[in-house]
Structure 1
């Protein structure tokens, strides 16, 4: 637990700790919730807790994009670089209301889905892909609550109906091959493609790619050495927070449930 780890760090005498969030993006679940975890952990330790600095979002870092670009190339190679193979970028779906609330109000919302779209664009451009899709996966909750769509499995059905015969899926919203990637993509999406007789290959996540470790080091150096932030998009650098305070007023507020009558 975060609280237990922070207690150990405090006892060891740490005064300032850099926190690397394993999400590259903005949004409540992708960013703000980490701040809440930090705030809760510091409260559990008390006044002796060290300063906790959460590192910034890195969806557009050159090393992040390069790792995914090479993974997409490798996935296409598995399918024999067949002409007409569709590249599909995939990320974790969130409720529409959460996406609308992501980012500071001054941005107009939808920071999460806009960052996902930008990361997909950057990877596609690096590989030289002009036609691609951005879809979603792993939705949960009651079916009457609107979430970001289309779902990856439904999209494979739609691609088959279009006459697409093979697909490369890139989980650009994830940094490692965890359960949701392996189950939703390597099982459910792959099985649906097989039912349609479509070729299917899933691009690897950064995971154990040495460039991902190098990315973390670069983010750390931005703080301890004042190194410039390397980024490929016009999006502002965001997500760096201190002691769980949000990076901007009203940024990525959690969705409020409607009041009961």
Structure 2
């Protein structure tokens, strides 16, 4: 038996994710949850939902979260970490409030949260913290004893997140025709967000053009590009950070260039091939499946440009091991012990507690698991 690992003071881990429909009848109600409060007509949501209907109305994200849950539970058991793992979503079952209610009724009072977003941004961090505060308020209204909830730090530069993506690029290069393999370029993709949200991502000190959101993605892209150059022996392989999945009003500036525009530009510049590397996504959910595997791949075929798409981290055992490491790191810090955070790149480890002004909300709302939490 492995030596038992100590997660004290934490008694549970909560996997917190976006959620997705699991059948055609779920698509519009799911999108109503996602766009709640925006007054978008149902007919418009049906149009937006066509991406899901192309795949039978099923988003792969829930099954991918189930696979990650299995990987985490196996890793924890194999390494003597007695920490139960629960799962709650923002927009679909299992809903976050229901899961927190279950955690409380199971007797858990100190909960660590793992969000399926590795980077700093409003939608990738602060909004999840707002969701936690909303759910805690609902439990408080029911008269339940509230747990204390903390959130694991951003893990974009943890080796267990980066190394699987390096291997994914190497595998994708090997899938390309041999005559274009060495000259293939890399397009690191992530979700586009409004430039105003990017500029205010991260701590107040990190605010500025692109904020922490762009800086963190660039750091990961450099790590992967440098490792691929070393392991393939191909130096100076061109690469660029590009964006996908824009969904906002046309008059609002969002991060660019879009992946399809980038493929056109690379083709015109004479690129022999491109590997699309979705570093901004933990798993191969709908935005990877449609925006890259369907839309961008079709654009490349139209151009006659060879492309490959590398894998996301998903339920890779090295990622599960990284989460175990982050749990232990945070538990040691909470116990007042010395901690040596594990990270790669130039930016260092992210903060444990989001400070005031970090990834500010569009409209101020309470947010849990931060310095300004009303539920400390």
1:26 to 105, 120, 128: 120
Q: Structure 1 residues 118 and 124 mapped into 2: Cα distance closer, same or farther (>3 Å)?
A: same
Correspondence 1:120 to 2:221: yes
Aligned to 1:74: 171
The 1-side partners of 2:137 and 2:349 are apart by 27
If you compute each CA radius of gyration, which structure gives the higher value, 1 or 2? 2
Structure ranking higher on relative contact order (CA contacts 8 Å, 6+ apart): 1
Correspondence 1:64 to 2:158: no
| Contiguous gaps of at least 5 residues in structure 2 | 1-94, 230-234, 334-338, 364-376
Correspondence 1:12 to 2:124: no
Moved more, 216-225 or 89-98: 216-225
Correspondence 1:162 to 2:243: no
Asked if the contact 1:85–1:165 (Cα under 8 Å) also holds between the matched residues in 2, the reply is yes
SS of the equivalent of 1:20 reads: strand
* Deviation by residue 1:36-58 (Cα, 9 ceiling, x = unmatched): 11111111112611111110001
Q: Structure 1 residues 67 and 145 mapped into 2: Cα distance closer, same or farther (>3 Å)?
A: same
Q: Structure 1 residues 236 and 39 mapped into 2: Cα distance closer, same or farther (>3 Å)?
A: farther
Q: Structure 1 residues 86 and 61 mapped into 2: Cα distance closer, same or farther (>3 Å)?
A: same
Aligned to 2:343: 231
Q: Please report the TM-score for the alignment, with normalisation by the length of structure 1.
A: 0.92
- The 5 Å alignment of 1:27-176 reads 27-46=121-140, 48-80=145-177, 82-109=181-208, 110-128=211-229, 130=236, 131-176=238-283
Root-mean-square deviation over aligned CA pairs? 1.6
* Deviation by residue 1:194-231 (Cα, 9 ceiling, x = unmatched): 11111110000001211111111111111234553101
* Deviation by residue 1:218-259 (Cα, 9 ceiling, x = unmatched): 111112345531011332433534xxxxx1121111236xxx
Aligned to 1:244: none
SS of the equivalent of 1:56 reads: coil
Moved more, 146-155 or 80-89: 80-89
Asked if the contact 2:121–2:359 (Cα under 8 Å) also holds between the matched residues in 1, the reply is yes
Moved more, 103-112 or 21-30: 103-112
| Contiguous gaps of at least 5 residues in structure 1 | 242-246, 257-261
Q: Please report the TM-score for the alignment, with normalisation by the length of structure 2.
A: 0.65
Asked if the contact 2:157–2:349 (Cα under 8 Å) also holds between the matched residues in 1, the reply is no
Asked if the contact 1:165–1:197 (Cα under 8 Å) also holds between the matched residues in 2, the reply is no
* Matched positions, count: 252
